[in-house]
Amino acid sequence: MKIVVVGGGWAGCAASVQAAKMGAEVILLERTDMLLGTGLGGGIMRNNGRYTAAEELIALGGGEIINVIDRNYLHESISFPGHKHASLYNVATMEPHIRRFVEKMGVKIHTQTRLVDAETEGGVIKQVVAKDKATGGEVRYEADAFVEATGTAGGPANCNKYGNGCAMCVLRCHSFGGRVSLAAKVGVKEMQAVKGGQVGAFSGSCKLLKESLDPAIRSELDEKGVVVAPLPEDRMVKGKLSIKACQQYALPEFERNLVLLDTGHAKLMTPYFPLEALRLVPGFENARYEDPYAGGMGNSVRYIGMAPRDNALKVAGVANLFCAGEKAGPLVGHTEAICTGVLAGHNAAKAARKQKTLQLPDSLALGDAISNVQTQVKTPEGLALKYTFSGSVQFERMKQKGIYSVDKKEIAQRVREAGLENVFN
């Protein structure tokens, strides 16, 4: 049983681990020289409903990646505007932890290996073709099933077309080539999020070099994990909330203040902020962007290539292709990517064995989010929204349905009642 996972972000790592647990020979293809994708610039876990989702995944038996992250936090159970009990990991040190764990699980990782083509027969993918940057040659990878976790951002042409130009972000398209969609390569018509004329959405935060900030700000950030610095009226950059991919952070507080989180760097919770204006704010006189390097002018544009799929995360029209992360719809965040990755890896292995795939019930936060997004993206209104366990419409839905909880026993009991305890084991 062979599974090929394309894309080594959070979703691809989780899919690889799950498929390997089920006895598959797993190859993970990543176009850059590092794993985690946007997780290299993220760092926020367990805030609001993400706590519920993480504990559900653990109770379902698929929490290995969550457990690795939980052991490597800089700050735990902090609050910032609109968000409670958040934990923050160090974006500068997390990738090696995850890479070693994925390799320990038996996954063969091929970095600097970029998808260029795929070969199908009767609606079934037989193999993918990838270019190895080290040798410059093409390599063919056959498999019984495939998981696509390539994300929805990049390359520079898309940021130029839909954003403010390439802002030199962690995706590093100029160096390793832009994202290539496996679904598109096999003829699947993908979806784009469009809201108010904006195609896609900007990544919702930037990183500042901590050492470039005032010592008092650095000290508070190191101690508390969060700094909320009020902005004078004439320093507010208004109108950016609606363009954020991370709508859970599109609250007025994020427009009236500079909200910083300690993720190794100082995570600035805004898509971009003009550097000249930022340096006029007390304490930020020497501020310098670390990601994207041109964070004063823009950010990466995401959600411009999502795959239609069912609730088992099988891509429409392709018998052996599953998707996860942003590829599976506008379900935003690391926890969301890990959860969909586990399910996609599980079902890819099931499909390879010609077994019935798994759909999670709506009684669980994970199942409800996957099915709700699948329903909503069929309408222009629903496709314009972003869904996350930590805020926006999906978190409100969790609260309305009584699914949101931080009681581990209650969450585990709900999984048992669904008859799914340790199903991923």
Q: What is the pLDDT of residues 373-416, one digit of tens each?
A: 999 999 999 999 999 999 989 999 999 999 999 999 999 999 99
| β-bridge partners, 87 | 45
The count of structural domains within the chain is 2
Q: Answer whether residue 394 is part of any domain.
A: yes
Same-domain pairing of 273 and 354:
no
Same-domain pairing of 226 and 331:
no
Beta strands 198-199 and 226-230 are: unpaired
User: What number is the average pLDDT over the span 95-110?
Assistant: 98
- Give one DSSP letter per residue of 47-68, joined into a string: -THHHHHHHHHHHTT--HHHHH
Gap between the Cα atoms of 287 and 355, Å rounded? 55
pLDDT of the residue at 234: 65
Q: Answer whether residue 172 is part of any domain.
A: no
Same-domain pairing of 147 and 52:
yes
CATH classification of the domain holding 361: 3.50.50.60
Q: Answer whether residue 315 is part of any domain.
A: yes
Q: How many CA atoms lie within 13 A of 55 on its CB side?
A: 21
Gap between the Cα atoms of 129 and 320, Å rounded? 16
Gap between the Cα atoms of 405 and 53, Å rounded? 9
pLDDT of the residue at 236: 62
pTM over 0.75: yes
Gap between the Cα atoms of 14 and 327, Å rounded? 14
Cβ(6)–Cβ(148) below 8 Å? yes
Gap between the Cα atoms of 339 and 45, Å rounded? 13
Q: Answer whether residue 82 is part of any domain.
A: yes
Which helix (H) or strand (E) segment holds residue 13: the answer is helix 10-21
Q: Tell me, what amino acid is at 26?
A: V
pLDDT of the residue at 195: 85
pLDDT of the residue at 392: 87
Where is the domain boundary, 255, 271, 291?
291
pLDDT of the residue at 242: 57
Q: Answer whether residue 42 is part of any domain.
A: yes
Q: Tell me, what amino acid is at 43?
A: G
Same-domain pairing of 63 and 148:
yes
Q: Answer whether residue 384 is part of any domain.
A: yes
User: What number is the average pLDDT over the span 71-100?
Assistant: 97
Beta strands 145-148 and 2-6 are: parallel
Where is the domain boundary, 254, 271, 291?
291
Strands (E), 215-268: 226-230, 257-263, 265-268
What's the pLDDT band for 243 if we cut at 50, 70, 90?
Answer: low
Task: Tell whether the model's pLDDT for residue 247 goes beyond 80.
Answer: no
Same-domain pairing of 269 and 315:
no
- The percentage of the chain sitting over the pLDDT mark of 70, rounded to a whole number, equals 96
Where is the domain boundary, 229, 257, 291?
291
Same-domain pairing of 108 and 141:
yes
Same-domain pairing of 40 and 131:
yes
Gap between the Cα atoms of 322 and 309, Å rounded? 8
Which of 90, 76, 114, 79 lies closest to 39 in space, CA to CA?
90
User: What number is the average pLDDT over the span 57-85?
Assistant: 97
Q: Answer whether residue 424 is part of any domain.
A: no
Same-domain pairing of 220 and 188:
no
Same-domain pairing of 150 and 109:
yes
Mean pLDDT of the chain: 94
Same-domain pairing of 43 and 67:
yes
Same-domain pairing of 322 and 396:
yes
Domain extent for 269: 201-291
pLDDT tens-digit map of 118-168: 999 999 999 999 999 888 899 999 999 999 999 999 889 999 999 999 999
What's the pLDDT band for 345 if we cut at 50, 70, 90?
Answer: very high
Same-domain pairing of 239 and 126:
no
Which of 268, 309, 313, 317 lies closest to 292 in space, CA to CA?
268
Task: Tell whether the model's pLDDT for residue 218 goes beyond 90.
Answer: yes
For 71, counting Cβ atoms within 10 Å of its Cβ (0-12 exposed, 13-18 middle, 19+ buried), the class is exposed
Task: Tell whether the model's pLDDT for residue 197 goes beyond 70.
Answer: yes
Q: Answer whether residue 327 is part of any domain.
A: yes
Maximum CA pair distance of the chain? 63
Task: Tell whether the model's pLDDT for residue 84 goes beyond 80.
Answer: yes
pLDDT tens-digit map of 251-297: 678 888 999 999 999 999 999 999 999 999 999 999 999 999 999 99
pLDDT tens-digit map of 253-265: 888 899 999 999 9
Structure tokens at 135: 């040798």
